[in-house]
Structure 1
Amino acid sequence: MEGVMTKLAIITDIHGNYAALKAVLDDIDRQGDIEHIYCLGDLVGIGHETNEVLACLSERNDVSYVMGNHDEAILRIAEGKEPGSSGEEREHHEWIASHLDPSFVPFLAQMPKKREAEYDGKKLLFVHYHLDHHQNFLPIDRHPSVEKLDEQYRYSHYDVVCFGHHHPLHHFRSDKRLYVNPGSLGCNTKPFAPYAVLHIDKAIQVTFRQVPYDPHHFLLAFEEKNVPAREFILQVFFGNQHLEKGQTS
Structure 2
Amino acid sequence: HRHPDDCGSAVPYFDHPFPSVLDDFYSDVEGDILFFGHTHIPLMVSGSRLYVNPGAVGAENGGIASAVILDAEDGMQLAVRRVRYDLEAVRKRLREKAAPYYKYISAHFFSEKGYTPSPLMISNKTG
Query: TM-score, normalised on structure 2?
Result: 0.68
Percent sequence identity is 31
Q: CA 1:221–1:201 in 2, change beyond 3 Å: closer, same or farther?
A: closer
Alignment of 1:69-148 (within 5 A): 128-134=1-7, 139-148=12-21
CA distance in 2, matches of 1:132, 1:179: 17
CA distance in 1, matches of 2:4, 2:29: 12
**Structure 1 residue 231 corresponds to structure 2 residue 123:** no
Listed one character per residue, the Cα deviations across residues 50-108 of structure 1 (whole Å, up to 9, x for unaligned) are xxxxxxxxxxxxxxxxxxxxxxxxxxxxxxxxxxxxxxxxxxxxxxxxxxxxxxxxxxx
Structural RMSD (CA): 3.0
CA distance in 2, matches of 1:134, 1:155: 12
Counting strand residues as a fraction of each chain, which structure ranks higher?
A: 2
CA distance in 2, matches of 1:133, 1:189: 29
Higher relative contact order (Cα pairs below 8 Å, separated by 6+ residues): 2
List gaps (5 residues or longer) in structure 1. Answer: 1-127, 242-249
Q: CA 1:216–1:199 in 2, change beyond 3 Å: closer, same or farther?
A: same
Q: CA 1:136–1:218 in 2, change beyond 3 Å: closer, same or farther?
A: farther
Contact 1:131/1:137 (CA < 8 Å) preserved in 2? no
List gaps (5 residues or longer) in structure 2. Answer: 114-127
Secondary structure in 2 matching 1:158: coil
Q: CA 1:202–1:221 in 2, change beyond 3 Å: closer, same or farther?
A: closer
Corresponding letter in the other structure for 1:219: R
Q: CA 1:137–1:158 in 2, change beyond 3 Å: closer, same or farther?
A: farther
Query: TM-score, normalised on structure 1?
Result: 0.38
Contact 1:129/1:164 (CA < 8 Å) preserved in 2? no
Secondary structure in 2 matching 1:209: strand
Larger Rg: 1
Offset, 1:213: 2.4
**Matched residue pairs, number?**
113
CA distance in 2, matches of 1:164, 1:219: 23
Corresponding letter in the other structure for 1:210: R
Contact 1:160/1:178 (CA < 8 Å) preserved in 2? yes
